[in-house]
Chains A and B, each alone.
Chain A
Amino acid sequence: NAGVTQTPKFQVLKTGQSMTLQCAQDMNHEYMSWYRQDPGMGLRLIHYSVGAGITDQGEVPNGYNVSRSTTEDFPLRLLSAAPSQTSVYFCASSYSSQDNQPQHFGDGTRLSIL
């Protein structure tokens, strides 16, 4: 198993551009989520999904969209990039959304907005 795979690893955007961060997991995990991590801080939840076709907002959803058309993939879209969205983005998954389960993380996408 590759685990949680995120692409790209690095990206630089101009203000106003749009882009999709990809996340895929091959563990047949039900639950997937997106976090952002800013310098010296913990991770903050952007959006999450408890299964294919179901998504919901986390703590900091503004400026981001998600979809979950398959169990494996959970892309994160920036509609109109802003400098405040410069961050490291992590995707995570866990087997179940019903029981408390440890989440498994990808290695992140480092995004800079100029």
Chain B
Amino acid sequence: GESVGLHLPTLSVQEGDNSIINCAYSNSASDYFIWYKQESGKGPQFIIDIRSNMDKRQGQRVTVLLNKTVKHLSLQIAATQPGDSAVYFCAENTEAAGNKLTFGGGTRVLVKP
């Protein structure tokens, strides 16, 4: 779902630790979910996606988990690196709505050396 606010929630992580970023969505009809990473001054960059017929999908150092029962999505980053410092957005979509994504408000990840 969409959250509104001037201050982004922030996750501080020690370099080398795992990060978990959470996202709650509101539309039970949503059937496609994407995680984006946005670095300062850049556009959102696609990380990983998952369809509603799956509950887990893995990429390189990232895992997305989907819990449709509680409408919750999470992104796990293994062995967090300084380059992972960014704002992370989840986005949801329903196939019936075409390709119109609804974005969450974002979480800032700060990696401490």
Chain A residues engaging chain B, CB cutoff 8 angstroms: 4, 31, 33, 35, 39-45, 48, 50, 58, 90, 92, 94, 96-108
Contacts and interface: CB of A to CB of B under 8 A. Distances in A.
Nearest to B97: A100
Contact of B45 (A43, A94, A105): A105
Contacts of B42: 107-108
A107 B29 CA distance: 30
B interface, how many residues as a size bin?
20 to 34
B61 interface: no
A92 B38 CA distance: 14
Contacts, number: 75
A105 B4 contact: no
B2 A45 contact: no
A108 to B, nearest CB: 5
A76 B6 CA distance: 26
Contact of A43 (B4, B8, B32, B44): B44
